[in-house]
Amino acid sequence: MSVFDGKQVLVTGGTGSFGKRFVARLLKDHKIKRVTIFSRDELKQSELAEKYKDEKRVRFLLGDIREQDRLQRAFHGIDIVIHAAALKQVPTLEYNPFEAVKTNIIGAENIINAAIDQGVERVVALSTDKAVNPVNLYGATKLCMEKLFISGNSYAGGFKTRFSAVRYGNVLGSRGSVYHVFRQRKASGELPITDERMTRFWITLDQGIDTVYFAAENMSGGEVFVPKIPSMKVVDFARAVAPECKIKNMGIRPGEKLHEVLLTEEEASRSVSAEKYFVIQPLARGWGYEQFTGGEPMSESFRYASDTNTDWLTDEQMKILTKDLG
């Protein structure tokens, strides 16, 4: 049996790119009792509700993770929470920093409190490679979110609620992704690149969902689950999307890195390699953490970075992955 079978699941940010795909997969893959889509966008909810008008297992709740009272009501009777709600546009958040803190940090605190108070069993939060050694506000808020969720296990004390996170790289085809930027600029005959040396990790929505599945099934609380995914130069990605276009080098923008890191040397010393994933185990384990089993200990000098990755996407592989994105 799956950990989701017979359970009531709530997805924050359920009308976003990940949320919509996750709900569709959840209904198909598991015998869930109910899935609640929690988001603040009434238009997107009404559009999605039309799709699921004959699906009795789907429920919609308007609300904002900034509002503790609303979360308390929404989490009543929920067994598993998947936390995908976030503000994530890097330039926008640099200009609106307090809004980023309210949603990505205070919102995470609200979820932790509501989950414990309402007896939620498991909470899995979505993080990003931008949270590792962050250089922009978005990454810093996500790092803080990770820390809050890990420490949330201590905060829960003797209660049953447990928290873990997943951390991965650029999601192909997600809303606002560079793929759609390149597609929009394709007609101009020129694609903007900040630096031809730049590399990134790439993951599909379905691979992201598989990572959340693995985390929910295997978590004891406090782990950060990192999928083993390929890298590609951003300039090669642009050429795969629009080979006929010229490349214009714009220079690195503020808050942008040449390369991203998903797992640091410091984290490797307490991590294991398990199947398609790395599992970073918590430093502090005061809540009775059970050691993750089934994985191989990792070298303390290991560093999982997009420029030194051993797995690289070819142009043809990228074209296959993006062929259905529109």
Q: What is the pLDDT of residue 176?
A: 67
Residue 180 has pLDDT above 90, yes or no: no
* pTM score, whole prediction: 0.95
Q: Residue type for 245, please?
A: C
Helix, coil or strand: residue 250: coil
- Over range 122-130, report the average pLDDT: 98
Helix 107-117 crosses helix 137-156 at what angle (to 10 degrees)?
Answer: 20
Instruction: Identify the active-site residue in 20, 130, 233, 257.
Output: 130
The whole-number pLDDT of residue 287 equals: 86
Question: Is residue 188 included in any domain, yes or no?
Answer: no
Task: Specify the pLDDT at position 326.
Answer: 58
Please indicate, yes or no, if residue 1 is contained in any of the structural domains.
no
* pLDDT for the residue numbered 269: 94
CA 12 to CA 111: how far, in whole Å? 9
Q: Is the pLDDT of residue 248 over 80?
A: yes
Instruction: Round to whole Å and give the CA distance between 182 and 178.
Output: 6
Q: What is the distance in angstroms between the CA of the first residue and the CA of the last residue of the chain?
A: 36
Give 2-17 pLDDT, tens digit per residue.
999 999 999 999 999 9
The confidence score (pLDDT) of residue 100 equals: 98
Q: Which of 129, 104, 90, 127 is nearest to 264 (CA)?
A: 129
Query: Would you say residue 233 has pLDDT above 90?
Result: yes
pLDDT mean over 32-55:
97
Instruction: Read off the DSSP letter of residue 306.
Output: T
224/165 Cα distance (integer angstroms):
5
Per-residue model confidence (pLDDT) at position 186 = 86
What is the extent of the structural domain holding 276?
8-168+204-228+265-300
* Assigned domain for 112 exists: yes
206/108 Cα distance (integer angstroms) = 24
pLDDT computed for residue 145 by the predictor = 98
Average pLDDT value over all residues in the chain: 94
Average pLDDT value for residue range 136-142 = 97
Active site (annotated) includes residue 130: yes
Residue 317 CA to residue 298 CA, distance in Å, equals: 29
Please tell me the total count of domains within the chain.
Answer: 1
Average pLDDT over residues 41-57: 96
The position carrying tokens 């999307």 is 241
Q: What is the CATH number for 270? A: 3.40.50.720
CB 129 within 8 A of CB 169: yes
Residues whose CB falls within 8 Å of the CB of residue 253, separated by 6 or more in sequence, listed in order:
91, 194
The pLDDT value given to residue 318: 85
Residue 198: DSSP 8-state: -
Exposed, middle or buried: residue 171 (CB in 10 Å: 0-12, 13-18, 19+)?
Answer: buried
- Which regions of 71-213 does DSSP assign to beta strands (E)? 80-83, 122-128, 162-168, 170-171, 190-193, 199-203
| % of the chain beyond a pLDDT of 90 | 80
The per-residue pLDDT for range 66-122, each reduced to its tens digit, is 999 999 999 999 999 999 999 999 989 999 999 999 999 999 999 999 999 999 999
Q: Does the residue 307 lie in any domain?
A: no
User: What is the mean predicted confidence (pLDDT) over 38-67?
Assistant: 97
| Domain presence at residue 90 | yes
Residues 6+ apart with CB under 8 A from 74: 10, 36, 38, 61, 63, 114
Whether residue 16 lies inside any domain: the answer is: yes
pLDDT score recorded for residue 117: 98
Please report whether residue 250 resides in a domain.
no
Residue 289 in domain: yes
Instruction: Quickly tell me which residue has 């990790």 as its tokens.
Output: 201
The string of pLDDT tens digits covering residues 236-246 is 999 888 889 99
pLDDT higher than 90, residue 247: yes
